[in-house]
Amino acid sequence: MSIEHDAQGRFSPEEAQNVLVPCALGAITFEIFESFKSILFAKRLSARHPIVFENKPHKVKLFQVLKKLVTVKPEFILGMGRLTDDIMPTIELLLKKDTDDLDKLEVKLLNSMRDFIEACGTSYDKMEEIDQTRFQKVNAQIKDVKMDLDKKIKEIK
């Protein structure tokens, strides 16, 4: 696929070929998010078994990436259930873990999660009023989870 430019060599959104670029980037982002979800999930064999967080360094880095992504494109993270259905369950699982059972990487992960959730709230606050209306329920969840994360981090210290 080629990208068409105007007479001065600049990107031209009027050219038919360039209309496809945002669609292609959207598809790539969607595919990447599917890979993100595979990193997010934690395992629990049964209610009697402890929660197992594999790939903790990857999860820490992923939450740093998600933090950046939500500041650039908040609608992508806050919409379509990505935050509530895909990301929040992992955060809630870590919150359920006893504070005494958290290892160093899980504490770092907890802090990364808190930074990400804080960025979600900040991004929501910067949205236009019409967009804020669409994401009111999500914002309420963000506030609740942020309080829970703050409480858990305070218990650790």
pTM of the model: 0.79
Residues 6+ apart with CB under 8 A from 87: 40, 66, 77, 116
Q: How confident is the model over 91-139, as pLDDT tens digits?
A: 998 999 889 889 999 999 999 999 999 999 999 999 998 889 999 999 9
CA atoms within 13 A on the CB side of 115: 16
Total structural domains in the chain? 2
* The pLDDT value given to residue 30: 72
* The pLDDT value given to residue 22: 54
* The pLDDT value given to residue 45: 58
Average confidence score pLDDT of the chain: 83
Do 76 and 123 share a structural domain? yes
Residues spanned by the domain of 30 = 1-40
Judge whether 60 and 110 are in contact, CB under 8 Å. Answer: no
Q: Is the pLDDT of residue 10 over 60?
A: no
Rg (alpha carbons) of the chain, rounded to whole number: 19
Do 133 and 60 share a structural domain? yes
Q: How confident is the model over 20-45, as pLDDT tens digits?
A: 545 556 667 777 888 888 888 766 55
Do 30 and 51 share a structural domain? no
